[in-house]
Structure 1
Amino acid sequence: MNRQDLADLAAFVAVARERSFTRAAAQLGVTPSALSHCMRGLEERLGVRLLNRTTRSVTATEAGERMLRSVAFHLDEIETHVAALNDLRERPAGNIRITADEFSLQTVLWPRLRGVLARYPDIRLEIETDYRLVDIVAEKFDAGVRLGDIIDKDMIAVPISPEMRMLVVATPGYFARAGRPRTPQELAGHCCINLRLPTLRGLYAWEFERGGRAQRVRVDGQLTFNSIFHIREAALDGFGLAYLMENLVREHLDSGALEAVLEDWSPPFSGYHLYYPSRRQPTPAFAAIVEALRYRA
């Protein structure tokens, strides 16, 4: 196999993953027509069709899927080792991609990583906010941030926050008008502020537990947001009950602007973890990110 075949295989992986000549060409820095010509040449040399092309989409054939599974892993490994060699310079450098939810980004990642970025200007960091449990290998992220109890067991998980807790909160004025729920079932009689998960499009069901008994409650109300920060503002304005991370509302609880209910139904749970594949070879840049985020009690 010559160097051109390797380059064409890398181009094929980009097209198969993006399912688009246009997006793959932008990623590779070539024109869509040149990329299409490259794919036709590769298919002719291999004697098998790798891609199904229509006016609207590009999908891998059965042979293409087999090729993608066998080739993509090795190409990713080559990229990792090349990046590791590049990072043998005196200062950590390179591109790091992380997926996280908006709360962990604002309260954990950014407060700790801005110092790292100032100290190592050759590190280029991309953080994508997402509520899904992302397949970081398939979507080419270096790491993800999620709560520890929902991370796959084959990942390395580094704790980056203490235990956390969700609380049902509202203003004293709201409780004066509507009363205080004493059980999760009584939430059905209250105006609750819903969270629509931005990537899943569903409404988040409020989760409770007491004495080993777990409950998920679907709530209703006048307002729905796809941002927890807007939910907090609506709760502070007296529009109903909100279900939020304790850290997000702690200062308002301390000041008396908000009050909590159902606290005996809200036990602590595992906090945020940075997770990444166990086979990943840490570069100096990635190691600097991990150490800056690692939680130390």
Structure 2
Amino acid sequence: MQREDASDLLAFLAVARERSFTRAAAKFGMTQSALSQIIRNLEERLGVRLLNRTTRSVTPTQAGERLFQKIGPKFADIDVELAALGELREKPAGTIRITATEYAVQAILMPALSRILPKYPDINVETLIDYGLTNIVAAQYDAGIRPGELVAKDMIAVRVGPDLRMAVVGSPSYFAERKRPKTPQDLTNHNCLNLRLPTHGGSLYAWEFEKDGRELNVRVEGQLVFNSASLLLEGALKGFGLAYLTEGHVQPYVSRGELVRVLSDWCPPFSGYHLYYPSRRQPSPAFALLVDTLRYRRR
């Protein structure tokens, strides 16, 4: 079927349904004479008269009535399917790929997903645990979650959590035989659990401290090196050494007395987690829903 046949058939259906060139022309936003010419062209191509025209009425001929009954429902079905596709487009669905630190996934992303996924079974989320500054565009991720100070300026950043603090912790058994450090410099006398970062050639993460405007980055030493925050926590709980982790990560264990916190006066708050994504990205309904759910709302 030619494209012009489809549009002309729609014009015919409108006239046959309305029994009026005037009303049908108004619906198409064209003149009555233009619509009449379309019907005449269709009749010429088909070689059969479709409409009986008088000064008072317009009625389908036998051929016109047959055509109306046969193709009318088919075009109606097409309209229904197109409407269904429109609803599907607006319904949150699809796969969202996110890179984040382990703690951000546990504390920020998972609680949000628990509110979304049961209601929207067509949304799928893939996460990559990564402590490096992943290029989300090159790696084809939809978004990343990092502390606000690490987000590139050309990205859209949405705050998804409160301010953060770091914490130095060790088990009671570890401190049973060692003095608690009073300053970051005292860490040189302690067995510290190191985190190896994938960035900067896989170097060990330097512990960051600040007090009274004085900043210190301390490269600690110890027997164990991990690339996972959960393993750092496990190592500290087992008494292998001191760990440097997010305050929220260790607070339950500190409250229960399983870990002891030190150097808290050297760990001021800093910018909390932000979800970031390219400014040129056109958010899908699923992504927009996730962003809105993650958005941090101060209480």
User: Which TM-score band applies after superposition, normalised by the shorter structure?
Assistant: 0.5 to 0.7
Deviation at 1:123, TM superposition (A): 1.6
Alignment deviations for residues 4-46 of structure 1 (CA, whole Å, 9 cap, x no partner): xxxxxxxxxxxxxxxxxxxxxxxxxxxxxxxxxxxxxxxxxxx
Is the 1:164–1:246 contact (alpha carbons within 8 Å) kept by the matching residues of 2?
Answer: yes
Structure 1 distance, partners of 2:88, 2:281, is 16
Is the 1:234–1:240 contact (alpha carbons within 8 Å) kept by the matching residues of 2?
Answer: yes
- From the superposition, tell whether residues 277 and 201 of structure 1 become closer, same or farther in structure 2 (CA, over 3 Å): same
Percent identity, please. 58
Give the RMSD, CA atoms, in angstroms. 1.7
Deviation at 1:244, TM superposition (A): 0.9
Deviation at 1:87, TM superposition (A): 7.9
- From the superposition, tell whether residues 281 and 223 of structure 1 become closer, same or farther in structure 2 (CA, over 3 Å): same
Mapping for residues 107-186 of structure 1, pairs under 5 Å: 107-186=107-186
- From the superposition, tell whether residues 90 and 281 of structure 1 become closer, same or farther in structure 2 (CA, over 3 Å): closer
Is the 1:171–1:235 contact (alpha carbons within 8 Å) kept by the matching residues of 2?
Answer: yes
**1:223 is matched with which residue?**
224
Structure 1 stretches of 4+ moved >6 Å: none
SS at match of 1:127: strand
SS at match of 1:232: helix
Structure 1 distance, partners of 2:183, 2:288, is 46
SS at match of 2:89: coil
Structure 2 distance, partners of 1:228, 1:126, is 20
Deviation at 1:274, TM superposition (A): 0.3
Structure 2 distance, partners of 1:233, 1:95, is 32
Deviation at 1:193, TM superposition (A): 1.0
SS at match of 2:197: coil
Structure 1 distance, partners of 2:87, 2:96, is 12
Is the 2:90–2:285 contact (alpha carbons within 8 Å) kept by the matching residues of 1?
Answer: no
Deviation at 1:115, TM superposition (A): 2.6
Alignment deviations for residues 92-125 of structure 1 (CA, whole Å, 9 cap, x no partner): 1122111111111111101211331221111222
SS at match of 2:290: helix
Structure 1 distance, partners of 2:270, 2:86, is 40
Deviation at 1:90, TM superposition (A): 4.5
- From the superposition, tell whether residues 243 and 179 of structure 1 become closer, same or farther in structure 2 (CA, over 3 Å): same
SS at match of 1:118: coil
Deviation at 1:213, TM superposition (A): 1.3
Unaligned runs of 5+ in 2: 1-84
Structure 1 distance, partners of 2:232, 2:135, is 28
SS at match of 1:157: strand
**2:281 is matched with which residue?**
280
Is the 1:192–1:222 contact (alpha carbons within 8 Å) kept by the matching residues of 2?
Answer: yes
Instruction: Report the TM-score, using the length of structure 2 for normalisation.
Output: 0.68
Structure 2 distance, partners of 1:208, 1:165, is 10
Tell me which amino acid in the other structure corresponds to 1:111. P
Alignment deviations for residues 260-288 of structure 1 (CA, whole Å, 9 cap, x no partner): 11111100111110001122222211111
**1:291 is matched with which residue?**
292
Instruction: Report the TM-score, using the length of structure 1 for normalisation.
Output: 0.68
Task: Kindly name which structure, 1 or 2, has the bigger radius of gyration based on alpha carbons.
Answer: 2
**1:20 is matched with which residue?**
none
Mapping for residues 2-41 of structure 1, pairs under 5 Å: none
Structure 2 distance, partners of 1:276, 1:231, is 29
Deviation at 1:133, TM superposition (A): 1.2
SS at match of 1:187: helix
**2:211 is matched with which residue?**
210
Structure 1 distance, partners of 2:171, 2:94, is 47
Mapping for residues 93-112 of structure 1, pairs under 5 Å: 93-112=93-112
Q: After alignment, is 252-261 or 85-94 more displaced?
A: 85-94
Tell me which amino acid in the other structure corresponds to 1:233. E
**1:89 is matched with which residue?**
89
Structure 2 distance, partners of 1:87, 1:135, is 33
Is the 2:208–2:217 contact (alpha carbons within 8 Å) kept by the matching residues of 1?
Answer: yes
- From the superposition, tell whether residues 165 and 117 of structure 1 become closer, same or farther in structure 2 (CA, over 3 Å): same
- From the superposition, tell whether residues 176 and 134 of structure 1 become closer, same or farther in structure 2 (CA, over 3 Å): same
SS at match of 1:163: coil
**1:263 is matched with which residue?**
264
Is the 2:206–2:218 contact (alpha carbons within 8 Å) kept by the matching residues of 1?
Answer: yes
- From the superposition, tell whether residues 159 and 87 of structure 1 become closer, same or farther in structure 2 (CA, over 3 Å): farther
